[in-house]
Chains A and B, each alone.
Chain A
Amino acid sequence: MDQKGLRELEYRCIQEEPPWCTAACPIHVDVRTFVGHMGHERWADAWKVLRKHMPLPAILGRICDAPCESRCKRGEAGDAIRIGALERTCVQTEPPALRILPMPSNGKRVAVAGSGLSSLTAAWDLARKGYAVTVFEARQQPGAGLRRFHPHQLPSEIIEEEIDKLSSLGITFELGCDPDSEEIASRILDSFNAIYLGLDTVSGRVWNVERDDQGAICVDAKSQATRRTGLFAGGQTNSPVWQTAQGRWAAISIDRYLQGVSLTAGRDKEGPFETRLFISLKDVAPLPAVPLPEGQGAYPPADARDEARRCLQCECLECVKVCAYLEKFGAYPKKYAREIYNNLSIVIGEHPANRLINSCSLCGLCEQVCPNDFAMQDLCLEARRTMVKNGKMPPAAHEFALLDMAFSLSNRFAMARHQPGCETSEYAFFPGCQLCASAPGQVTEVYAHLRATLAGGVGLMLGCCGAPAHWAGSQAQCDGHTADFTTQWESLGKPQMILACASCLRLFKEHLPMIPAVSLWSVLDMHPPQVKASENSRTVAVHDPCTTRHEAELQACVRRLLDKAGVAVQELALGQEETECCGFGGLMQNANSDLAHEVAQRRAGRDPVDYIAYCAMCRDNLVATGKRILHLLDLYFPDPQHTDPALRPRPGWTQRQQNRAWLKSKLLKNLWNEVPPEMESHQNIKLEISRQVAERMDRRRILEEDLQRVIQHAEASGERLFHPASGHYKAAYAPHKVTFWVEYSPTGDGYVVHNAYAHRMEVYGP
């Protein structure tokens, strides 16, 4: 990703887009923050927000015509927030102290004709930039026009206080000097570098300047330039906030004019604009406005607070609302994109976003709910690939899963055979690694059903589809694997593949598009097995695996199979195309197991009814949270050993590998009359492991086999430590990159395991 790619990506995330109120405001007051403070009765903070955006908040705050209200999103669910009334309420409270620092003079003089709101705004903004500003007012009072137009809203002392602030900035008021007189006009033209005509109080009739057909002075929108060089004008409107805006834009133009730079460059976002922000009003209950006291324009404080609390505080966060991962890292995709980009750019030093990159489940729900299709999963996967390519992927992030994949591709599990008694295969059943790891007995039954139902020979392929390498960003490993897989598939005569796992199906579609593959569920939908489970009159909620997000037909097949089994289906609020990951996807569980557990718990808590899954890994992850969850195969091929399959515990990592190996041995023996692969010598070492220690090992991702290797090595070499008081031995061995430690003691023909732990750091010795 280059800078341009980053900016395009950042642009997609609209969380930082201004809310509608701000976008509608000609001077872009940060209304959302202002109203937020009002809702917490933080009047001084609210005041400061107005002051930041408004030149003369005590005046404008009292007379603002609030065009923002017409665009307020709350107006689509009840009444719009009474923003104008909240402004009036705010500016009637005691203003926080204000320090006005006069700018050092830049030596240039600007004349401002009139002292209406546009003129005072232009004067204020220009004085703050260091210009010597003189205001020419026909009457004897500055701000006379304001007094005339808003006699009730603007008490004299308020105007005087604001005028005092202007004076404190060094602005000079020439009173009784009518800018509509020839004499004053020529005086101004002779002695100032630039001029602003405030058409809210000045007619400009003596100023020799081009007018339109209706006789109005021609003024360019936004730049406020007239056709006479150095003469700017504005304020020809009844709207106080527009008068203010035009005064402000004129001040910007005068500053640019006097600096000799472009009047127009980079000013597209001035004035009201269309925001790209999105807010969902789906769960927003309508609320009416808090009524104003009879005949009043402002609220009593408590009412102002209540009115402000109706504000939706518009923001998007559609993705963050549905994703524990995006929420966990405390920001939103636009910020994450920047963090990831920076992370990839760092050559030497900390890479703080590694965890962010590796924790994403790659489930794609963010893209599904994003109004702009921001795909966090694409960003994270691309980043992982770059990290792997540059040798910057933390070794611990995915290694366990990749070793598990290597196991599944080894002779211990992988195999490919034609159906017994067949020379060719019309089909080949590929149950994937996790169904075999979770329910190997059901795999044998499904295979028997397929052989009995489908003509032309149903071969069997055991192995891994390569998804772990894909998720880990290891493209080379993934490509190597798909090449091997293709060769194997060709050796079976290019059968149609029947896949039990949605992740495999997705991987086949993306990486092996030339191999025809169908889901087991569509095959079973066409050739349904007999329903065997007895308790099928129940209602269940379907948990769709995240890899079926865009597989509507597959999801429909599953629902038909449930219907045929007599199960009533309840849809989860986040289901089908908006389904959530179980916490395993994208190897989240490897890189961030705490988060994966949280994700699984959140998913399990969506609905109190029993769930049904059709991905073995989803089932196992969710059942591990204590959730009752069935696998679709439990209805058609119930395991007689489990009277309540919804509570069948998740097999641990060791059991998962043992189940795969068991399945291969059993099938080879029973169906093909072949001798199962020989066990390696360490596998014959008998271990006695309590449940507590086994669970600890599982959490620490230590396999029984790892300990068998340690003990074999320790017993053969004598390299072990001894603890005389307990009679325990302790030994370490690193079969690959991880060093495993086991505390054990001999018993009968084997060993009792008391504890096990591991580290990756290498110990060279004294």
Chain B
Amino acid sequence: MTSEHVQPEDLQWQCAKCERKLVVGPINVGYMGNRFTVELPHCPGCGRVLISEQVALGKMAQVEQMLENK
């Protein structure tokens, strides 16, 4: 996954706790014992990550299914 999956509107969200705008950067994700680093929007303060609907139902779902069938 690259930052191609990050939509401009994703960056209109901000962290409610830190009151900071989200930035795009490498995030660690994992599934079934596999770990990857993905460019995703997150809070530069607390690290809270936004998984958009498009990412959750698109690329992420695809990778989940692939790993489940491994």
A interface, CB within 8 angstroms of B:
348-352, 354-355, 394-397, 718-725, 729-730, 732, 739, 741, 755, 757-766
Bound: A722/B69 CA distance, A = 36
Contact status B27-A765, CB under 8 Å: yes
Bound: A350/B30 CA distance, A = 18
Contact status A741-B53, CB under 8 Å: yes
Interface-central residue, A396, A721, A725, A741, by most chain B CB under 10 Å: A721
Interface-central residue, A355, A725, A765, by most chain B CB under 10 Å: A765
Residue of B nearest to A743 (CB): B53
Contact status A721-B56, CB under 8 Å: no
Other 7 A-B pairs with CB < 8 A, given A721-B50, A765-B28: A354-B69, A724-B14, A725-B12, A741-B53, A759-B51, A759-B64, A766-B26
By Cβ-Cβ distance, the 7 closest A-B pairs, closest first, are A394-B68, A722-B16, A764-B28, A759-B56, A765-B47, A721-B13, A761-B31
Residues of chain A contacted by B22 (CB below 8 angstroms): 721
Bound: A758/B29 CA distance, A = 15
Contact status B69-A394, CB under 8 Å: yes
Contact status A350-B42, CB under 8 Å: no
Residue of B nearest to A394 (CB): B68
B15 at interface (Cβ–Cβ under 8 A)? yes
Residues of chain B contacted by A759 (CB below 8 angstroms): 51, 56-57, 60-61, 64
Known interface pairs A765-B28, A766-B25, A766-B28; A755-B12 also in contact (CB < 8 Å): no
Residues of chain A contacted by B32 (CB below 8 angstroms): 395
B48 at interface (Cβ–Cβ under 8 A)? yes
Known interface pairs A349-B70, A720-B17, A721-B14; A763-B49 also in contact (CB < 8 Å): yes
Residues of chain A contacted by B64 (CB below 8 angstroms): 396, 759-761
Residue of B nearest to A730 (CB): B13
Contact status A741-B70, CB under 8 Å: no
Contact status A762-B70, CB under 8 Å: no
Contact status A761-B17, CB under 8 Å: no
Q: Which of B14, B56, B68 contacts A396 (CB 8 A)?
A: B68
Q: List 8 A-B contacts (CB under 8 A).
A: A352-B69, A394-B65, A721-B14, A741-B53, A758-B56, A760-B31, A761-B29, A761-B30
Bound: A730/B70 CA distance, A = 32
Residue of B nearest to A395 (CB): B68
Residue of B nearest to A766 (CB): B47
Residue of A nearest to B66 (CB): A350
Q: Which of B17, B28, B29, B69 contacts A719 (CB 8 A)?
A: B17
Residues of chain A contacted by B65 (CB below 8 angstroms): 394, 396
Residue of A nearest to B28 (CB): A764
Residues of chain B contacted by A725 (CB below 8 angstroms): 12
Residues of chain A contacted by B63 (CB below 8 angstroms): 761
Bound: A759/B61 CA distance, A = 7
Known interface pairs A720-B16, A730-B50; A351-B25 also in contact (CB < 8 Å): no
Q: Which of B16, B25, B69 contacts A729 (CB 8 A)?
A: B16
Residues of chain B contacted by A757 (CB below 8 angstroms): 53, 56-57
Bound: A756/B32 CA distance, A = 24
Bound: A427/B51 CA distance, A = 53
Residues of chain B contacted by A766 (CB below 8 angstroms): 25-28, 42, 47, 49
Contact status B69-A350, CB under 8 Å: yes
Residues of chain B contacted by A718 (CB below 8 angstroms): 16-17
Residue of A nearest to B43 (CB): A721
Contact status B14-A764, CB under 8 Å: no
Bound: A352/B13 CA distance, A = 39
Bound: A758/B48 CA distance, A = 17
Bound: A764/B60 CA distance, A = 14
Residues of chain A contacted by B56 (CB below 8 angstroms): 741, 757-759
Q: Which of A348, A719, A732 contacts B51 (CB 8 A)?
A: A732
Contact status B16-A763, CB under 8 Å: no
Chain B positions 3-19 with a Cβ under 8 Å from a chain A Cβ:
12-17
Contact status A721-B25, CB under 8 Å: no
Residues of chain A contacted by B12 (CB below 8 angstroms): 723-725
B53 to chain A, nearest CB (A): 5
A484 to chain B, nearest CB (A): 30
Residues of chain A contacted by B47 (CB below 8 angstroms): 765-766
A397 to chain B, nearest CB (A): 8
Q: Which of B14, B15, B17, B27 contacts A763 (CB 8 A)?
A: B27
Residues of chain B contacted by A395 (CB below 8 angstroms): 32, 68
Bound: A766/B42 CA distance, A = 8
Residues of chain A contacted by B16 (CB below 8 angstroms): 718, 720-722, 729
Bound: A285/B50 CA distance, A = 64
B40 to chain A, nearest CB (A): 8
Contact status B31-A762, CB under 8 Å: yes
Contact status B53-A755, CB under 8 Å: yes
Residues of chain A contacted by B25 (CB below 8 angstroms): 766
Known interface pairs A354-B69, A720-B17; A762-B51 also in contact (CB < 8 Å): no
Residues of chain B contacted by A721 (CB below 8 angstroms): 13-16, 22, 48, 50
Residue of A nearest to B49 (CB): A763
B20 to chain A, nearest CB (A): 11
A619 to chain B, nearest CB (A): 30
A343 to chain B, nearest CB (A): 9
Contact status B13-A723, CB under 8 Å: yes
Bound: A355/B69 CA distance, A = 9
Bound: A396/B48 CA distance, A = 25
Residue of B nearest to A724 (CB): B14
Residue of A nearest to B35 (CB): A764
B66 to chain A, nearest CB (A): 8
B65 to chain A, nearest CB (A): 8
Q: Which of A394, A724, A755, A765 contacts B49 (CB 8 A)?
A: A765
B21 to chain A, nearest CB (A): 10
Residues of chain A contacted by B14 (CB below 8 angstroms): 721-724
Bound: A720/B14 CA distance, A = 9
